[in-house]
Amino acid sequence: MKRTFFILNIFICLSVAAPAQFTTAGKIEYERKVNVYAQMAEMDNNDWFEKLKSQIPKFSTSFFDMIFDTARSIYKPGKEVEGNNMFKMFGGGPAMENVVFTDFAAGKVTANKKVYEQKFLVQDSLRKIEWHEKDEIRTIANYKCHKAVGIICDSVYVVAFYTEDIVVSGGPEMFGGLPGMIMELAVPRLHTTWVADKVELTAPKETDFVVPDKGKKVTQKELFETVKSSFKDWGKLAPRNTWWTAL
C-alpha cells in the first residue's frame, strides 16, 4: 500500500511539474458570420429589404484559414459555402477575398484586398491596438481564452478572445498584438464575428505563405483615406464600407 501511494505521489508531482504544451504552428479555421438583417436595418430606406427578409437567412457565413508558425502567418479565404454568392449584395461581400500575410520577425504586414472591383496591395508595419484586458474567460476550439477589448478607426469597438496556449500574437485579418492567438473576434458596428471552430496541428509549407501581388500599392492609411473619399456620398453606408477596409 505504501509503495502504491509513493508511486502515485511521484506521478502527481511529475504531472504538476511538467511544462505546458504550447501550440507553435498549425492551421486555424475561422467561421465568419455577418448579421445581414442588422446591416440592412441601418440603411436609409430599407422598405424593400423588409419584403425580402423572409426569403434570405439572417446570417451570411463564410470561412477563412489562418496558417501560422512563430515567425509568420497568413490569413486567407477557406472552404466555400453553398449559396453565398447571393449575399454579395447583402453583407457577405466585403473582405471576402482578403489575404493577409504577417511577418512577426520583421514587424511587417502585406495584405491583398479587393474593394468592390479595385484591388489593393497593402504594405505596412503591424497595426498597434491599445488592448485592455477584461475578467472573462471562455473555451474556444478546446483552448482557454481571455477577453480583451480595443478600438480601431478612432471609435470602432472591437472584442477579442485570445489564448496564450498558441504562442503567436496573431488573429483574423490584420488583428494581433495580444499575448497569444485571437480565437474569437467581434466588431459590433459591423455586426460581424470570427470564431475559431478547429485547430489543426500541422507544420506549414513555404507554398502556404504566397500572397497575390497584384493591386495598387498603398499603406493601410492611404487605403483607408482612398476608400473614405470614394464612399463619401453613400450616406449611412459610407462609414461601414470604410471600416471594412480597415480590418
Q: pLDDT-based confidence at 1, cuts 50/70/90?
A: very low
Phi-psi region of 212 (alpha: psi -120 to 50; beta: other; left: phi over 0): beta
> What is the per-residue pLDDT across 103-137, written as a single tens digit (0 to 9) for each?
999 999 999 998 888 899 999 999 999 999 999 99
pLDDT at 52: 72
Task: Provide CB contacts within 8 A for 156, sequence distance 6+.
Answer: 187, 189, 190, 243, 246
Determine the structural domain holding residue 92 and report its residue range.
20-245
10: in domain: no
Our measurement of the distance from residue 20's CA atom to the centroid of its chain's CA atoms, rounded to an integer in Å, reads 26
Beta strand 26-35 pairing with 59-68: antiparallel
What backbone phi and psi angles, to 5 degrees, belong to 80? -75, 150
Average pLDDT, the chain: 85
Task: Using a pLDDT cut of 70, give the percent of the chain over it.
Answer: 83
Mean pLDDT of the region 55-60? 84
168: in domain: yes
171: in domain: yes
- Integer Cα distance of 71 and 221 in angstroms: 25
Q: pLDDT-based confidence at 234, cuts 50/70/90?
A: confident
28: in domain: yes
Query: Measuring CA to CA, which residue among 196, 239, 175, 223 is closest to residue 78?
Result: 196
38: in domain: yes
For CA atoms 105, 107, 108, 113, give the dihedral sign: positive
Give whole-number Cα distances, 222 to 67, 114, 150, 217, 225, in Å. Answer: 27, 14, 22, 9, 5
175: in domain: yes
Tell me the sheet residues that pair with 133.
148
Task: Using a pLDDT cut of 90, give the percent of the chain over it.
Answer: 60
Three-class SS state of 81: coil
Three-class SS state of 51: helix
> Domain with 229 in it: what CATH number?
2.50.20
Query: Measuring CA to CA, which residue among 189, 169, 76 is closest to residue 127?
Result: 169
13: in domain: no
219: in domain: yes
> What is the per-residue pLDDT across 12-26, written as a single tens digit (0 to 9) for each?
443 333 335 689 999
Total-model pTM: 0.86
pLDDT at 83: 60
> What is the per-residue pLDDT across 168-212, written as a single tens digit (0 to 9) for each?
999 999 999 999 999 999 999 999 999 999 999 999 999 999 988
Number of domains the chain contains: 1
